[in-house]
Amino acid sequence: MGQGKQELVIPVPGIFSSRETDWGLESVSHYPILAVTTGILIQLVIKTDKNSQPRILKCLLSDPGFQMSSLEFLLGKHQDVKVVEDTKASKDFLADKKNKPFSFLNYEEVNDEEKENIKTLVAYLDEQKKEFTQQTEEIKEEDLCTICYANQISAIFAPCGHQSCKSCIRQQMMSKKECFFCKVVVTSVKDFQGQVILTNPGAGNKLPHGHKH
């Protein structure tokens, strides 16, 4: 390796790592581990049986470390080769096959069928990721607490069945103890697992409409 090495910058996102990693030219030696990882992904995502596929996809796509750029990297994308100084040394360096941006497509060891599988994997996950992101965004908006618009709805009141986030109803139960929406006296509050999280001990002798002799 000549002086050219210092003149090249290749920023590369990490594979399944949420932090940005500068692999630099070492990526060439990552071929064996990438080959194994990619092979596993193809088995899990593309060649798996249809019953387990949704679960696998959900696990994969909801992982905060999952980034499409990491997968596209396998096909030579997101590898910005910057030649800082356009010298003969840096040109020679780039001309050397070993120093080209990483891509499975450049490997003779990878046969055509395997290359197709990698392309299918990347395209399929890209499509799934978009759909998944859209779905989770829709759900989030619907599930937002209408009192604070900050937290997700997570508590259900008895007897009326109205809902809010836990922190809003917790605060409410420290003062008025009535439903935000219908003003009925809340007797207890459950979370979405059915667990009682708040009770109103005074509710027994303070019936909703105040009929007491």
Residues that bind Zn ion (CB under 5 A): 145, 147-148, 151, 160, 162, 165, 168, 179, 181-182
Of 103 and 188, the one with the shorter C-beta distance to Zn ion is: 188
Shortest separation between residue 152's beta carbon and Zn ion, angstroms: 9
Shortest separation between residue 186's beta carbon and Zn ion, angstroms: 8
Of 31 and 181, the one with the shorter C-beta distance to Zn ion is: 181
Q: Where are the beta strands (DSSP E) in the chain?
A: 8-9, 12-13, 20-21, 82-83, 155-158, 163-164, 188-191, 196-199
Shortest separation between residue 201's beta carbon and Zn ion, angstroms: 19
Of 121 and 189, the one with the shorter C-beta distance to Zn ion is: 189
- CA-to-CA dists, residue 81 to 101, 132, 198, angstroms: 7, 32, 59
Compute the distance between CA of residue 159 and CA of residue 140 in angstroms, rounded to an integer.
Answer: 26
Shortest separation between residue 141's beta carbon and Zn ion, angstroms: 14
Of 37 and 151, the one with the shorter C-beta distance to Zn ion is: 151
Compute the distance between CA of residue 100 and CA of residue 95 in angstroms, rounded to an integer.
Answer: 7
